[in-house]
A and B are shown apart, each in its own frame.
Chain A
Amino acid sequence: MQIRMNNVCKTIKGATLLADISLTLNSGKIYGFVGDNGAGKTVLFKILLGLMRKTSGSITIDGVELTDLLQNAGFIIERPEYIPYYSAVKNLAVIAAYHMKTDSARIREVLEMFGLDPDDKKAVGKYSLGMKQKLALSMAFMENPEILILDEPLNALDEGTVNNARKHILEAREQGKLILIASHYKEDIQSLCDIVYRMKGGRIVGNIE
Chain B
Amino acid sequence: MIRTQLAAVLHKPSVRLKILLITLLFIPTLIEQLTMIVPYADSFGKEGQVTVAIMLLHVFNYLYFYVDVLLAGFILLIPDIVRDEYIDKQAIMLSASRKKAAGIALARIVSFSVLYVLWFLLLTVMISGVWLRNFSLAWPHFISVIQKQAAGWSGWYMQLVMLPENCMDYPVLVVLFLIVVRSTLGFIFLGMLAGLITLLTKKTKYGVGIVIFLLAVTLFLYYDFDGGFLLCYDASVPAEQARVMTDLIKATLVPFFTFRSLTDNFTYWIQYGIVCGLVLCIVTSAGIWLYYQKGDLDNADQDE
Contact = CB atoms under 8 A, between A and B. Distances in A.
Contact of A52 (B12, B96, B97, B297): B297
Nearest to B9: A83
A71 interface: yes
B1 A98 contact: yes
A94 B86 CA distance: 11
Interface stretch (B87-95, B161-169, B178-186, B254-262): B87-95
A77 B86 contact: no
Given A53-B295, A69-B98, A83 B89 contact: no
Contacts, number: 69
B298 A69 contact: no
A87 to B, nearest CB: 12
Q: Which of A46, A69, A73, A77 has the most CB of B within 10 A?
A: A69
A70 B97 CA distance: 8
B126 interface: no
Q: Which of B12, B97, B298 has the most CB of A within 10 A?
A: B298
Interface string B67-101: 00000000000000000011111111111111001
B4 interface: yes
A75 B145 CA distance: 67
Contacts of B87: 81-83, 94-95
Interface residues of A, number: 27
A77 B8 contact: no
A90 B87 CA distance: 13
Given A51-B93, A51-B297, A81 B1 contact: no
Given A51-B92, A97-B1, A85 B298 contact: no
Nearest to A79: B300
Contacts of A71: 96
Nearest to B5: A94
Interface of A: 12, 46, 49-53, 68-71, 73, 75, 77-78, 81-86, 94-95, 97-99, 139
11 contacts: A51-B92, A51-B298, A68-B97, A81-B88, A82-B86, A84-B86, A85-B12, A86-B8, A98-B4, A98-B91, A99-B94
Interface of B: 1, 4, 8, 11-13, 85-98, 101, 294-300
Given A51-B299, A69-B96, 4 more contacts: A46-B296, A69-B92, A81-B87, A82-B86
